[in-house]
Structure 1
Amino acid sequence: MKKKYDYLIVGAGLFGSIFAYEANKQGKKCLVIDRRSHIGGNVYCENVEGINVHKYGAHIFHTSNKFIWEYINCFAEFNRYTNSPVANYKGEIFNLPFNMNTFNKLWGVITPEEAQSKINEQKERAGILDPKNLEEQAISLVGIDIYNKLIKGYTEKQWGRNANELPAFIIKRIPVRFTYDNNYFNDKYQGIPEGGYNKIIEKMLEGIEKRLNIDFFSERNSLEDEAEKIVFTGMIDEYYNYKFGKLQYRSLKFENEIININNYQGNAVVNYTDRETPFTRIIEHKHFEFGTQEKTVITREYSSEWTAGNEPYYPVNDEKNNKLYTKYKELSENESNVIFGGRLANYKYYDMHQVIAEALTVVTKELNILLKDFKKATTNN
């Protein structure tokens, strides 16, 4: 007997919403569920004092892929926001990413040649030829001063471990630019959806049945009986009842405050890079959309170990966890009626444009949609 739905989509975040939207366009009947009280997953925005507060941390869309940019712009118009975070080290302010403005503040250098010479001098003094951990990798890339002021404390708070205990690969792509350019991303397209990310997800899921405050695992048997296939975007180890053990994640805690002034810190994101400050950064949400409200909303962000009941945000992709994930992945590849997708199901940190590319790849394969632009989008993400 044919089941009520073609697809049960577990998770109303970006991946699940794109899959549901594209499947619905092909005439497939979908049910989207989420254990939260809202759709949108981690891109959900909460309106506070007329300000779109990024409830689960700052989300800044960026991509160099024209198709992905045009695809997401079908659901909302984006503003011209450019990500230019700053770092606060014990009251000293530095520009990020590391660029000529940073080097000038640190050392008083003016030219790229002077900055490069200063970094090379510190790298030589450190004498690290074969970096064995994050600390050694960072020093071998940018020298001692930048490491001590702008990397060490922030990274140790972010991961809850000493930098010399973290794998080197975490920081191998650290951005260093010898131009006076504070644009964090080099991507061609960048911005924030006007009116917040909720508009995008709401449009994607328009006309599709949704059930919120539903825990898939509490109602697993009955839910599985309702659909021909499952699209699962949760933790892959939880799906298999932690058969091989639990994967490790980092979690985040957010402390929001409404302040009766119109501008608290003058920037959307300020990273606190000393070890003593307990939070990693402060987000002032109104600056994402050039807000002019009389009040402002800030969020202090704290990093912590993930424990059951908390939200998992960042996979800990060290050798031990990656080996464990491989075991779960092998199980998932034998599933004929379950599609795994997204950050938690693939145990991989994705930016939003990468989630879109992955979702379109899965959609193309699953629904046999022969769209040349889909292929283009997923080969340059």
Structure 2
Amino acid sequence: MKRYDYIIVGAGLYGATFAYIMKQAGKRCLVLDRRPYTGGNIYCEEIEGINVHKYGAHIFHTSNKEVWDFVNAIVEFNRYTNSPIANYKGQYFNLPFNMNTFYQMWGVKTPDEAKVKIEEQKADAMRKMAAEGIENPRNLEEQALALVGKDIYEKLIKGYTEKQWGRPCTEIPAFIIKRLPLRFVYDNNYFNDKYQGIPIGGYNKLINGLLAGVEVRCDVDFLKVRKEYEAMGEKILFTGAIDEFYAYKFGKLAYRTINFEHEIIDTTNWQGNAVVNYTEAEIPYTRIIEHKHFEMFGEEIEQCRRTVISKEYATEWKAGMEPYYPINDDENNAIYEKYEHLADQEKKYIFGGRLAEYKYYDMAPIVELAIQRAHHLLS
């Protein structure tokens, strides 16, 4: 008999959730991670008494009560509501696009006034495309203009999107934004989900709770020592990059990634909000995160005498960088399907999570998928 029922490669949210379910079922689990700590991209580093989201802002949100109850049984979540702000050349707009945004953009005060303005701009965009013989939007720029018109596109979408993708909107496929939600209410809540928040005490508490009682080994590069661990485990859950697992047999999958600049500032409250997007092309970063606003409210903000901000720079992924966002175009999806075909034939290995499935997931779906996969295997 093998020493472990399951060896789990990757101590991120998927791997930790899977390990928790299996441990509860009495399975012997070992979790491995190549980083010196657990948590994957939701790992938090405490700086100046603030839980800094080291790999970018993470806000947990879901309408699935079972998932919400599951994570809250591990650690209590706070009442944080995601309400980002867009800064365009020093002018501020509320996000998502709602009545506050439309008032800031045009001075309109009622939903009917806002709808008239948007429809006028959409019609103008469609007339210009028709005059050029364009029947259907061919790229993201034309798609956005057809959905929201010139003002919102040029001030709040164009520059930000081009920084994210590293190419002009005219070179980005139209399907990237099949729809742009417009809310005709004065509500800055970014998510429509019923539940949202941040773990009280940071995401490390969630991961530590999920992995409580599970054997964990960090600083282990599994793919360099895989034969050693294959001999130890009955089954292996792999949550890393699937193309790397197969030694890039069919080529490398493409990603976008983010570089971060973290800075400690000697003030209690630097920008007044957790997330401010910079939507003009001339500013190189896409947004600034002020981390204390995720967990501190009211007087707590002033009592913490310093603050920590992070500037985010989107860039093309290269070897050695952290892959964040899969580029799910036809070319990359075709490469992934070849790797998926190999993975489906594996007897010992199970593949799951963002990198193994080459698909971007929010946190709640990751938890749900990991629970479902564990229960399926147990049944």
After TM superposition, the score normalised by the length of structure 1 is 0.95
The residue matched to 2:224 in structure 1 has which SS? coil
- C-alpha separation in 2, matches of 1:31 and 1:360: 17
- C-alpha separation in 2, matches of 1:346 and 1:169: 20
**Which residue in the other structure is 1:144 paired with?**
150
Check if 1:257 corresponds to 2:258.
no
Check if 1:302 corresponds to 2:301.
no
- C-alpha separation in 1, matches of 2:179 and 2:215: 42
**Which residue in the other structure is 2:102 paired with?**
103
Match for residue 351 of structure 1 among 333, 344, 362: 362
**Which residue in the other structure is 2:171 paired with?**
165
Could you tell me which amino acid in structure 1 is paired with residue 327 of structure 2? V
User: What's the CA shift for 1:364?
Assistant: 1.5
- C-alpha separation in 1, matches of 2:342 and 2:140: 32
Q: Deviations 1:23-62 (Å, cap 9, x if unpaired)?
A: 1111111110101111011111110000000111000011
User: What's the CA shift for 1:175?
Assistant: 2.1
Provide the aligned C-alpha RMSD in A: 1.0
**Which residue in the other structure is 1:374 paired with?**
none
**Which residue in the other structure is 1:377 paired with?**
none
- C-alpha separation in 2, matches of 1:164 and 1:221: 47
Match for residue 233 of structure 1 among 239, 257, 261: 239
Show the 5 A alignment for 1:282-301.
282-290=288-296, 291-292=300-301, 293-301=304-312
- C-alpha separation in 1, matches of 2:337 and 2:23: 32
**Which residue in the other structure is 1:199 paired with?**
205
- C-alpha separation in 2, matches of 1:216 and 1:275: 40
Show the 5 A alignment for 1:176-215.
176-215=182-221
Check if 1:175 corresponds to 2:174.
no
**Which residue in the other structure is 2:323 paired with?**
312
User: What's the CA shift for 1:345?
Assistant: 0.6
Could you tell me which amino acid in structure 1 is paired with residue 220 of structure 2? I
The residue matched to 2:213 in structure 1 has which SS? coil
User: What's the CA shift for 1:8?
Assistant: 1.1
Check if 1:364 corresponds to 2:375.
yes
**Which residue in the other structure is 2:8 paired with?**
9
- C-alpha separation in 1, matches of 2:67 and 2:180: 25
Question: Does the CA-based 8 Å contact 2:138-2:174 persist in structure 1?
Answer: yes
**Which residue in the other structure is 2:68 paired with?**
69
- C-alpha separation in 1, matches of 2:197 and 2:354: 22
User: What's the CA shift for 1:324?
Assistant: 1.1
Could you tell me which amino acid in structure 1 is paired with residue 29 of structure 2? C
- C-alpha separation in 2, matches of 1:173 and 1:80: 28
- C-alpha separation in 2, matches of 1:175 and 1:263: 31
**Which residue in the other structure is 2:22 paired with?**
23
**Which residue in the other structure is 1:376 paired with?**
none
Check if 1:221 corresponds to 2:232.
no
- C-alpha separation in 2, matches of 1:233 and 1:260: 39
The residue matched to 1:73 in structure 2 has which SS? helix
**Segment drifting more, 356-365 vs 280-289:** 356-365
Q: Deviations 1:131-151 (Å, cap 9, x if unpaired)?
A: 221111111111111011100
- C-alpha separation in 2, matches of 1:155 and 1:364: 39
**Which residue in the other structure is 2:341 paired with?**
330
- C-alpha separation in 2, matches of 1:302 and 1:339: 33
Could you tell me which amino acid in structure 2 is paired with residue 99 of structure 1? N
Question: Does the CA-based 8 Å contact 2:279-2:286 persist in structure 1?
Answer: yes
Check if 1:115 corresponds to 2:128.
no
- C-alpha separation in 2, matches of 1:13 and 1:216: 15
Runs of 4+ in 1 over 4 A off after TM superposition: none
User: What's the CA shift for 1:348?
Assistant: 0.6
- C-alpha separation in 2, matches of 1:216 and 1:176: 45
**Segment drifting more, 222-231 vs 272-281:** 222-231
**Which residue in the other structure is 1:88 paired with?**
87
The residue matched to 1:56 in structure 2 has which SS? coil
Could you tell me which amino acid in structure 2 is paired with residue 287 of structure 1? H
Match for residue 130 of structure 1 among 124, 136, 139: 136
**Which residue in the other structure is 1:244 paired with?**
250
Could you tell me which amino acid in structure 1 is paired with residue 111 of structure 2? P
Could you tell me which amino acid in structure 1 is paired with residue 289 of structure 2? I
How many residue pairs get matched?
Answer: 367
Q: Deviations 1:74-129 (Å, cap 9, x if unpaired)?
A: 11111111000000011110000001111111111111111111111111111155
**Which residue in the other structure is 2:46 paired with?**
47
User: What's the CA shift for 1:247?
Assistant: 0.4
**Matched residues, percent identical?**
63
- Listed as ranges, the gaps of 5+ residues in structure 2 are 130-134
**Which residue in the other structure is 1:33 paired with?**
32
User: What's the CA shift for 1:174?
Assistant: 2.3
- C-alpha separation in 1, matches of 2:183 and 2:103: 12
- C-alpha separation in 2, matches of 1:334 and 1:133: 38
**Which residue in the other structure is 1:339 paired with?**
350
Could you tell me which amino acid in structure 2 is paired with residue 26 of structure 1? A
The residue matched to 1:145 in structure 2 has which SS? helix
Could you tell me which amino acid in structure 2 is paired with residue 216 of structure 1? F
Question: Does the CA-based 8 Å contact 2:147-2:179 persist in structure 1?
Answer: no
Q: Deviations 1:140-187 (Å, cap 9, x if unpaired)?
A: 111111011100111111111111111222222422111111000011
The residue matched to 2:100 in structure 1 has which SS? helix
